[in-house]
Amino acid sequence: MGGFFGIASKRQCNYDLYYGVDYHSHLGTRRGGMVMYDRELGFQRQIHNIENSPFRTKFEKDVDEMRGNLGIACISDFEPQPLLIRSHLGNFAICTVGRINNQESLVELILNKNHHFLELSGGNINPTELVASIINEKNTIAEGIEYAQKMVNGSMSILVMTSECIYAARDFYGRLPVLIGQNDDGYSVSMESFAYQKAGFEDFRDLGPGEIVRITPEGVEQMKAPEGKLRICAFLWTYYGYPNSHYEGSTVETMRYKSGEIMADYDKVEGIAQDIDFVAGVPDSGTPNAIGYANRSGKPFARPFIKYTPTWARSFMPTSQKQRNLVANKKQIPIKVLIENKKLLFIDDSIVRGTQLRETVDFLYNNGAKEVHIRSACPPIMYGCKYHNFSRSRNEMELIGRRIVMDLEGEKGMNYLDQYSDHSTDRGKAFVEAIEKQMGFSSLRFQSLWGVTSSIGLDPECLCTYCWTGKE
Ligand code: SF4
C-alpha cells in the first residue's frame, strides 16, 4: 500500500517532508521518492528502491542536500515516482496512489493523440505517467486532475507540485484518506494524520471524496467540491492503518479495542472458549483486538510470543510469499511459560491465505500449547480488492475462504459466498468447521460485518466492504 505526503511552508521543509513520508512505510512497498522546489535550485528529485531497506536509510544523504519550502514525496507499490513533467501546463512534479483498472484503454486514448510513454521493464507503463498525460489533456492542472479522476476506473489520489503550490486530490470515492494539517508556517497533506502531527502540524481538515484543493503556505483553496459518494476502505481500521491514525474522525487503535469487545461478547453468548488461560493478539494489528477482548471478558491478556524487531523492521516485507513466511517465522520468539499446557485464544486481524497463521498455530503447539482458539477480526475475505494494490487479496483463488468453498462444494459454491460468510447458516457452519479441521484450530470464529462497521462507528454506507461482501 503506497502513501504520499506534501508540505507548502514559509520555511525550509526538507526534514519534515522526509520524516512525514517515512511514516507512510506500509507493507510491501518497493519505491520511495521525494521532490522539492527551491527558487534558486529549482526542482530537485530523488527516487530509490526501498524493497530491502527502510526509506530513511536510503534518503538520509539526499535529505541533507535538498532545499525548498515546497515538497511532495511518496512510498510506492511498484512504480518509480514522483515524476517531473514539462508540458503546456508548465513544469510540475506528480505522484499518485491508487489503481487503474482500465489502463489499456486510457493508454490507447493517449497514444491515438500521437503522444508517447516511456516503457518500464516488463513492458509496463508507469501509471503516474499515464495520469500526468491525462492531466495534460486539459487547460489547467485542476481541470486535468478532475478529468483524470473521472477517466480512471479504480481509484486515484493525486499530488501535483508546481513552483508555486501543491494540488491535492482525493480519489472519487474516498477509498483512501487525504488529510490536511496546518501550522504557523503553512500546510501539509498526508494519508496518515499522525505523520503531520509529528512534524508539528494540527488537524486542519479531511478532503472529501473527489475533492481537489490548491495548497500554498498561505492557505488552502478549494478547486473542486467533493462529489463522489464516500466509500472509505474498512480495511484501514482492521488491518493496514497505523494504530495512531484516525480517518473520518474514527481512531484505528480504539476501533480495534471495540472490535475485540464485540468478539468477546459473541463467545460468551455461544459459550465457547470460556476456560482459556490467556487472550493474545497476532502482532501487530491483532494485539489491540486482544486487549479489547481481554478487557471485556476478564480473561488475562498475554504475549506468548514476541516479534523480534531490532533487525526486522515492520517496513521490511519481501515480495515473495515464501520469503515472507520465512521472515514471519524467524521473527516469532516464544515465551515458553506462557504457552506450555496453556489454552490460548489468539486474535488475528484477518485470515487471507492462512499459510502464516497455520505456521503460527503449529509453532504454538510445538511449544506445548494445549489449545489454540483463533478469532479473525474481520469476516472471511472472499473478493480481491479492485480499488488499490492491496496485496492481501490480489489473487482470489489464493484466498483461504474461496479454497475452502471449492473444497466443500466446488464451483457451484461460488454462488453462495454470502452464506459461507455467515456463521448462522448451515454453509457458514460447515465453512468454519472445515477451516478448524484443516488448520488445527481448537475453535474459530470470524468477526461479523456488523461487528466491523459498528466498531468503526461510521455510517456503513460510507464504508467499502467489498472484500467481504462483493458489493460495490
Ligand atoms: S475492496 Fe477491500 S481493500 Fe479494497 S478498498 Fe474495498 S474494503 Fe478496502
pLDDT tens figures, 353-395: 898 899 899 999 999 999 999 999 999 999 999 888 765 556 7
| pLDDT given at position 331 | 79
Give me ligand 1 centre to Cα 233, in Å.
5
Average pLDDT, the chain: 92
| pLDDT given at position 397 | 82
Q: What is the CATH number of domain 250-469?
A: 3.40.50.2020
Same fold, 3-230 and 250-469: no
Smallest CA separation from ligand 1 atom 1, residue: 385
Domain ranges of the chain: 3-230, 250-469
User: Residue 56 pLDDT more than 50?
Assistant: yes
The answer, yes or no, to whether any atom of ligand 1 lies below 6 A from the CB of 382, is no
Give me ligand 1 centre to Cα 99, in Å.
12
Alpha helices in 66-162 (DSSP H): 103-111, 127-135, 141-151
The alpha carbon of 266 is separated from its chain's Cα centroid by a whole number of angstroms, namely 28
Sequence-ordered list of residues with C-beta below 8 angstroms from that of 262, at least 6 positions apart, any chain: 447, 448, 451, 454, 455
The cell numbers describing 338, all together, are 506462557
* Residue appearing with cell numbers 489499456: 104
Smallest CA separation from ligand 1 atom 3, residue: 385
Of 97, 385, 461, the residue with max ligand 1 atoms within 8 A of its CB, to mutate for a pocket test, comes to 385
Q: Which atom of ligand 1 is nearest to the CA of 384?
A: 1
Of 26, 252, 466, 469, the residue with max ligand 1 atoms within 8 A of its CB, to mutate for a pocket test, comes to 466
Tens-place pLDDT, residues 175-234:
999 999 999 999 999 999 899 998 999 999 999 999 999 999 999 999 999 997 999 999
Give me ligand 1 centre to Cα 385, in Å.
5
211 touches 226 (CB < 8 A): yes
At the second CATH level, the architecture of 3-230 is 4-Layer Sandwich (3.60)
The answer, yes or no, to whether any atom of ligand 1 lies below 6 A from the CB of 392, is no
Give me ligand 1 centre to Cα 463, in Å.
9
User: What average pLDDT score do residues 348-352 get?
Assistant: 93
Cα–Cα dist 233/462, whole Å: 9
Smallest CA separation from ligand 1 atom 8, residue: 233
Smallest CA separation from ligand 1 atom 2, residue: 467
Give me ligand 1 centre to Cα 53, in Å.
27
The answer, yes or no, to whether any atom of ligand 1 lies below 6 A from the CB of 352, is no
User: What average pLDDT score do residues 260-287 get?
Assistant: 95
Give me ligand 1 centre to Cα 92, in Å.
31
C-alpha angle with apex 26: 360 to 75, nearest 5 degrees? 150
Give me ligand 1 centre to Cα 447, in Å.
17
User: Residue 255 pLDDT more than 60?
Assistant: yes
User: What average pLDDT score do residues 246-261 get?
Assistant: 96
Q: Which atom of ligand 1 is nearest to the CA of 155?
A: 5
Burial class, 144, CB count within 10 angstroms (exposed 0-12 / middle 13-18 / buried 19+): buried
Tens-place pLDDT, residues 63-104:
999 999 999 999 988 889 999 999 999 999 999 999 999 999
The answer, yes or no, to whether any atom of ligand 1 lies below 6 A from the CB of 399, is no
Instruction: Catalogue the E-assigned strands of 290-442.
Output: 305-307, 332-334, 343-348, 371-376
The answer, yes or no, to whether any atom of ligand 1 lies below 6 A from the CB of 47, is no
The answer, yes or no, to whether any atom of ligand 1 lies below 6 A from the CB of 173, is no
Which residues make beta-bridge pairs with 345? Answer: 279, 373
| Banded model confidence at residue 26, pLDDT cuts 50, 70, 90 | low
pLDDT cut 70: percent of the chain above it: 95
Of 235, 399, 471, the residue with max ligand 1 atoms within 8 A of its CB, to mutate for a pocket test, comes to 235
Burial 289-307 (b: 16+ CB within 10 A, else e): bbbbbbebbebebbebbee
Q: Which atom of ligand 1 is nearest to the CA of 236?
A: 8
The answer, yes or no, to whether any atom of ligand 1 lies below 6 A from the CB of 385, is yes
User: What average pLDDT score do residues 267-293 get?
Assistant: 95
The answer, yes or no, to whether any atom of ligand 1 lies below 6 A from the CB of 381, is no
| Banded model confidence at residue 440, pLDDT cuts 50, 70, 90 | very high
* pTM for the model: 0.92
The answer, yes or no, to whether any atom of ligand 1 lies below 6 A from the CB of 464, is yes
The answer, yes or no, to whether any atom of ligand 1 lies below 6 A from the CB of 234, is yes
Which of 277-286, 342-351, 394-403 shows the lowest per-residue confidence on average (mean pLDDT)? 394-403
Find the helix packing angle between 400-409 and 426-439, rounded to 10°: 110
| pLDDT given at position 121 | 67
The cell numbers describing 341, all together, are 499446557
| pLDDT given at position 77 | 84
Smallest CA separation from ligand 1 atom 4, residue: 385
The cell numbers describing 428, all together, are 457458514
Collapse the DSSP code of 389 into the 3-class scheme (helix H, G, I; strand E, B; otherwise coil) and give the result: coil
Q: Which atom of ligand 1 is nearest to the CA of 232?
A: 5
| Banded model confidence at residue 321, pLDDT cuts 50, 70, 90 | low
42 touches 14 (CB < 8 A): no
User: What average pLDDT score do residues 52-57 get?
Assistant: 84
Smallest CA separation from ligand 1 atom 5, residue: 233
The cell numbers describing 161, all together, are 507540485
| pLDDT given at position 315 | 47
What is 215-279 written as a DSSP string? EETTEEEEEE---SPP-EETHIIIIIS-TT-EETTEEHHHHHHHHHHHHHHHHHHHT-STT-SEE
